[in-house]
Structure 1
Amino acid sequence: MPVIVYFLALAVFALTTSEFMVAGMMPSLAHALNVSVSEVGYLISYYAGGMVIGGPVLMLALLNVSRKRALLVLIGVYTIGQSVAAAATTYEIMVVGRILCGVAASACFGIALAICAQMVAPGKVARSAAIVISGLMFATVFGVPAATALEQAFGWRFVFWLVAAMTAASGVLLAITLPASRVDQRTSALAELVALKNGRLWAAYGTSALIIGATFAAFSYFSPILLNVSGYDASTIPLLLMLYGAATVVGNFIVGRLADRHTMQVLFWGQVILTAALVAFAILGQLKPVALGALILIGLTGVALNPAMVARVIKSASASPLVNTVHASVINIGLFAGSALGGLGISLDFGMRAPLWVGAGLAVIGVLSVVPLVLKERSGTETVKGVGALQSECV
């Protein structure tokens, strides 16, 4: 695997740490910016909004720029946005910095995955994607907790500047190691948008949104569920969440190994396991061993199915940066839709298990979305085997 793939993972690690680290320093930011804790929470939403809306627009503007130059420009924009947030003296300045970061992050994800697909053999696309995406997993397991600890020791500005420096460092590494590239064929924004008029591509996008929505409907409320339903002590919650994060890392690499050759099978069985884990958690969550097992299974599937989602999207359309950037936007829509629906279930007095049932429902729809393709793939395999057997008989 080219070493550049690991440098791309480092960039993704920095980007994802920046996205979610706000959750661990809400009281400090609220005090420093003179706003409520809920308004600090909106900083994550502003970041995600930049990813969903701004990312594809920025990617269209960079269509006729070489991929190396485009990636370095995006990392530069991200570093500027992170620096603006680090230097912010008012809430409004912080919002501007977060939106800039979100816009650049979405396009960075898209072009990083496009570069991976371009640099490795066709049979290793999912494996390279798994390495890049592992930056996201490691950020949730190590980056965000480390950011919280550093914030408590040195203050929130130190952490923001540190992430900005890490992002800039990854840009320097990529500037040195990434081979120069050129634009093979100039294209227009209209031509790229026409390429998105692909039913199979949007079906793939839909499945990705359902998988992430199902996962985050539950994950967003793991802490209160583990406390109030499973009866775990508050002191064990960080350890359980780290265990979940470790499971996502392991699952990501397993899926990356299998997804190139067995894309649809991995998506089907992964969602079946995810559904079973969510249902078991909802029904028997009061039993600690069941809750723990379900937590691990959700980690091994759920977000960890990302390499298979990427492989399916690329097979459905292409590895173009715009296709991957829109995919990142759709995934973020699924993330926040799942979280919102899970919270709605609780607010409507359906109980603390409601997010688990919401997640299970979305996962079932996700399974159904790939069943026709799995059956079609199996039918095609059986036809090929039949033809091969007939040819052998003739010989």
Structure 2
Amino acid sequence: MKKHLYLLMTMIMVVSMSELQVAGMMPSIATDLDTSVSRVGLLVSMYSLGMALGGPAVAYMLRHIRPKLALLSVVGLYAVLEALVPLIHEYWWVAIFRILTGCLSGATFGLSVTFGAQLAESPTKIGEAISIVLGGIMVGTVFGLPLSHYVAGALSWQTSFYLLALIALCLFVASLFALPSRDPASQEASEQDLRNLRSLRLWSRYLVSLLTIGAAYGSFTYFTPLLERNSGLSPNTTTVVLLTYGLFSFIGNLVVGKFADSHAVTVLRIGHAVLIISLSIIAMFATTGWLTVTMVLLVGLAGVSMNPALVTRVAEVGGTGNLVSTVHTSVITMGVTLGTAVSALTMSIAGNDPAIAMWTGAAFACLAAIVLATQTVPFKRSAASSI
């Protein structure tokens, strides 16, 4: 089943790269569409908005369809829309297509996680299986922006869209033959999936995910200016550091997956502590290059890599149905948006110093640790399990 999980991982990698591809080639797109770079930047936000709001809607519509067919439908349509974007030379049409691709991307996340849970060797291996699937986030996040930037410079920004569309099409064909068929959720299971979304316990765990991802992205987003401006690293060295950060995130994701099923809370407590300490050290000693780089890599190990533990805790109270998983994806996307937005606000107030974003990320991690603590207070086991 591992090969199937890696296939799902590649799907998530592609849609993660698609989210960031515009950010890597904004000047080229702005020139071609005869608009400003700031308006092109909104295309990234529109994609994220589609993921957050449209993903659950798509998953809801597909809830009675076989998982394989649902996933193939989403990936196939994504490939078509991704290929159509560069054929259109009107900004608002491109914006609409980006929103639609974002909707399909959000659904791909939820459907892939649900499918990955079904393909786990046993119920006690769900966290490990999901960690493999979610590894695509690390790869796509790290390579999406620099690769799109390179392709736009060497060829054209349109080529980036064609390449991702082609890869998605190849994944569609590979999945058609390779992924096993599974029965769709029963009417009762679908209704239970919907009822689970009314659970306060579930939303309290969603909140931990929101704050944890907000901490990771509220800092990660501003690593480049911090490393170059505060630490004095060259652009080439910064690129190497960021690629190594991605490798560490991928490794951390796999390690967390090994322990997520049986020690999710412990993993999160350690991860939050590492984030708080590492980001605080970066903020205080940003001018010390070697120390900053070391802490950045620690953030890679303990930041976004906590995803499998977050998913495991959500699955404990909400199951792994399409809606619960896709809404969790939306919450994570909102965490990215919230973390980066709050960091941008605090930086603007404090003189645009990237070190302020590190303090903001540490504050998010503190809040996540506090919320987690309220859910895991050592009362009687029956009382604690009800939170």
Question: Relative to structure 2, which stretch is displaced further, 366-375 or 307-316?
Answer: 366-375
Paired AA for residue 127 in structure 2: A
The Cα offsets for residues 200-245 of structure 1, whole Å up to 9 and x where unpaired, read as: 2111110111011111111111122222222223342212211211
Counterpart in 1 of 2:65?
65
Contact 2:128 2:308 in 1 (8 A): yes
- Counterparts in 2 of 1:213-232, with a 5 A limit? 213-232=214-233
Q: Determine the C-alpha separation between the residues in 2 that align with 1:265 and 1:189.
A: 31
**RMSD of aligned Cα (Å):** 1.9
The Cα offsets for residues 41-100 of structure 1, whole Å up to 9 and x where unpaired, read as: 111101000011111111111111111111111112211221221322111121122111
Paired AA for residue 281 in structure 2: A
Contact 2:20 2:144 in 1 (8 A): no
Q: Determine the C-alpha separation between the residues in 2 that align with 1:147 and 1:231.
A: 25
Asked if 1:278 is matched to 2:276, the reply is: no
Counterpart in 1 of 2:237?
236
Contact 1:63 1:187 in 2 (8 A): no
Counterpart in 1 of 2:263?
262
Contact 2:28 2:157 in 1 (8 A): yes
Counterpart in 2 of 1:133?
134
Asked if 1:44 is matched to 2:56, the reply is: no
Question: Relative to structure 2, which stretch is displaced further, 348-357 or 321-330?
Answer: 348-357
Counterpart in 2 of 1:386?
none
- Going from structure 1 to structure 2, the CA distance change for 1:36 and 1:187 (only over 3 Å counts) comes to farther
Paired AA for residue 312 in structure 1: R
Contact 2:83 2:165 in 1 (8 A): yes
Q: Determine the C-alpha separation between the residues in 2 that align with 1:92 and 1:235.
A: 35
Asked if 1:357 is matched to 2:338, the reply is: no
Secondary structure class of the residue paired with 2:378: helix
- Counterparts in 2 of 1:17-28, with a 5 A limit? 17-28=17-28
Contact 2:346 2:356 in 1 (8 A): yes
Unaligned runs of 5+ in 2: 383-387
- Counterparts in 2 of 1:72-151, with a 5 A limit? 72-120=72-120, 121-151=122-152
Deviation at 1:321, TM superposition (A): 0.8
Question: Relative to structure 2, which stretch is displaced further, 184-193 or 336-345?
Answer: 184-193
Q: Rg: which structure is higher?
A: 1
Q: Determine the C-alpha separation between the residues in 1 that align with 2:189 and 2:375.
A: 32
Counterpart in 2 of 1:321?
322
Sequence identity (%):
33
Q: How many residue pairs align between the two structures?
A: 380
Unaligned runs of 5+ in 1: 382-395
Counterpart in 1 of 2:385?
none
Q: Determine the C-alpha separation between the residues in 1 that align with 2:366 and 2:105.
A: 30
Deviation at 1:184, TM superposition (A): 4.7
Contact 1:63 1:188 in 2 (8 A): no
Paired AA for residue 84 in structure 1: L
Q: Determine the C-alpha separation between the residues in 1 that align with 2:66 and 2:375.
A: 35
Q: Determine the C-alpha separation between the residues in 2 that align with 1:188 and 1:236.
A: 51
Contact 1:114 1:321 in 2 (8 A): yes
Asked if 1:32 is matched to 2:24, the reply is: no
Contact 2:64 2:185 in 1 (8 A): no
Contact 2:21 2:160 in 1 (8 A): no
Question: Relative to structure 2, which stretch is displaced further, 175-184 or 97-106?
Answer: 175-184
Contact 2:193 2:319 in 1 (8 A): no
Deviation at 1:169, TM superposition (A): 1.1
Q: Determine the C-alpha separation between the residues in 1 that align with 2:185 and 2:46.
A: 35
Contact 1:271 1:366 in 2 (8 A): yes
Secondary structure class of the residue paired with 1:183: coil
Contact 2:193 2:321 in 1 (8 A): no
TM-score by length of 2: 0.93
Deviation at 1:368, TM superposition (A): 1.1
Q: Determine the C-alpha separation between the residues in 2 that align with 1:307 and 1:195.
A: 20
Counterpart in 2 of 1:384?
none
The Cα offsets for residues 10-49 of structure 1, whole Å up to 9 and x where unpaired, read as: 1111111111111111111111111111111111101000
Deviation at 1:158, TM superposition (A): 1.5
Q: Determine the C-alpha separation between the residues in 1 that align with 2:55 and 2:103.
A: 5
Secondary structure class of the residue paired with 2:180: coil
Deviation at 1:350, TM superposition (A): 5.0
Deviation at 1:149, TM superposition (A): 1.8
Q: Determine the C-alpha separation between the residues in 1 that align with 2:169 and 2:188.
A: 30
Contact 1:81 1:96 in 2 (8 A): no
- Going from structure 1 to structure 2, the CA distance change for 1:188 and 1:126 (only over 3 Å counts) comes to closer
Secondary structure class of the residue paired with 1:259: helix
- Counterparts in 2 of 1:291-330, with a 5 A limit? 291-330=292-331
